[in-house]
Amino acid sequence: MMTVDTIAAIATAHGESGVAIIRVSGPQALAVADRVFHCPGPRPSQRPTHTVVWGHVTDQGQRVDEALLLIMRAPHSYTREDVVEFQCHGGAITPKLVLRAVLQAGARSAEPGEFTYRAFINGRMDLVQAESVNDLIRSRSERAARLALEQLDGTLSRQFNQLYQQLVAVAAELEVTLDFPDDELPAAVLPDIARKIDSIINQISDLLESWQDGHRLREGLTVVIAGRPNVGKSSLLNALLGKERSIVSHEPGTTRDFIEELYVVEGIPLRLVDTAGLRETGCSIEQEGVRRTRAQLQKADLYLYVIDASAPLQAEDQANLETMPKDRCLVILNKTDLGRFPTAATLDGYTILETSILHNIGLQSITDNINILLKKTLHLDAMPATVISERHYHHLNKARHELKTGLASVTGGSDQLLAAHHVRQASDLLGALIGSTASDDILSTIFSKFCIGK
């Protein structure tokens, strides 16, 4: 990405809205504003930073919209460059007309994440904080948003920076030992270096333990609704969501594919998956639906297995339940208004919930028990203040491996040069985390995941 030119993009979501924002950043931002924004009094470039101006946006002399202009001079802006933002009317057309005027006045279209990339390049934030901007935008729950905000404030960055500085110091100590003949090196030096490496390994291990919880908070836990055909799986999905999302029919086998929807419980995002009924069938389309159901079951974090309580328990139900861990599965006896054939004794060890989804009976109990399973699965009471992402996990895990190899060389007295190499490799991996040693390819990959305008 270039950083010497001036970029522009619509920074708000497309569609109908009261206000849309067109953001412009770069050395010519104020000059662009002078060309397209007409207001009473001094031109935008003659005004002080952090002022708001009322006026009109024009394109080649043609008035486009009435708008407000926000002026933020470098370095007191998001990108630490000169920035102007046009607050115009929202909708499908007007923001595009304003953006077109800005582009014709000398700016170019911003690439995905380029504003945040410039904030990173210009030292306003490190790479971990830059990633948290995207996490915050894409948060699917209140808890995930809070964690992203903690990361944006630099909580996780400080931990990574501390580890990085420790690694650089240890690597330097190891390299100094290479200048000493073996018989002149003080006996306490290498054991002291080994203790420091071991301490860093333990700190990295503590961070790695937070990855699973962080991944689930970002992406959501997968909760698969399964069971035989026509037991009320789709009705359960609709009832939990409070809307008609799945087709409900008395004809068995209506659902031929899985349907996925976001559902939030106690601030935790869940990916509710309604699946095709599990049964033996000669229909090739339904067979594919069953195959996809079983594939979803293999990826599930939690299970809601629905059984028709008004009929005797089928052997297929018992066989299906044997594949699901009892501590992560809720067995829902539906249609209890029509009868109660299966009992807790026949389903020993499972959490049994009696419901009549048609009559809205027992739904709160399902939500309550999902919440109980979440607390057990995610350990919410002991949730760390910061959690790492998949990229962080990859780098930290490799760094730990390098350090363990280096530690073995130090304690075994085999090769201090080799130990120094492994510690330096680990420090480079930590540097790539915070951005100090990240390659252009890594940066491009990270920022390409951002939306345009951020």
Q: With contact defined as beta carbons under 8 Å apart, do 366 and 332 qualify?
A: yes
Region(s) of the chain under CATH 3.30.1360.120: 7-124
> Which segments of the chain belong to CATH 3.40.50.300?
220-382
Q: pLDDT at position 243, please?
A: 65
Q: What is the mean pLDDT of residues 254-265?
A: 71
Lowest average pLDDT, out of 53-67, 186-200, 285-299, goes to 285-299
- Determine the Cα–Cα distance for residues 454 and 187; give it in Å rounded to an integer: 55
Statement: residue 187 has pLDDT above 70: no
pLDDT of 249? 46
- Whether the pLDDT of residue 160 is over 80: the answer is yes
pTM for this prediction: 0.73
Q: Looking at residue 137, what is its pLDDT?
A: 82
pLDDT band at 268 (very low <50, low <70, confident <90, very high): confident
Q: State the pLDDT at residue 390.
A: 82
Query: What is the sign of the dihedral through the CA atoms of 369, 373, 379 and 380?
Result: negative
Cis peptide before 229 (omega within 30 of 0): no
242 or 79, which is more confident:
79
Higher pLDDT, 174 or 82: 82
Question: What mean pLDDT is predicted for residues 426-433?
Answer: 91
d(CA 240, CA 219): 19
Contact 112, 21 (CB under 8 A): no
Higher pLDDT, 184 or 299: 299
The pLDDT of residue 227: 85
Decide if pLDDT at 282 tops 60.
Answer: no
Residues of the chain with CATH 1.20.120.430: 129-210+388-435
- pLDDT for 239 equals 85
CA–CA separation, 33 vs 43, rounded Å? Answer: 8
Q: Under CATH, domain 129-210+388-435 is a member of which superfamily?
A: tRNA modification GTPase MnmE domain 2 (1.20.120.430)
Sorting pLDDT into bands at 50, 70 and 90, what band is 189? confident
User: pLDDT averaged over the chain?
Assistant: 84
- In this structure, how many other beta carbons lie within 10 angstroms of the beta carbon of residue 247? 11
233/70 Cα distance (integer angstroms)? 52
CATH tag for 7-124 (out of 3.30.1360.120, 3.40.50.1820, 3.40.50.10860, 3.30.70.100): 3.30.1360.120
Q: What are phi and psi of 8, to 5 degrees?
A: -150, 150
- Are the CB atoms for 409 and 416 separated by under 8 Å? yes
CATH number, span 220-382: 3.40.50.300
- What phi and psi values does residue 216 have, to the nearest 5 degrees? -70, -35
Q: Tokens 């000493």 belong to which residue?
A: 180
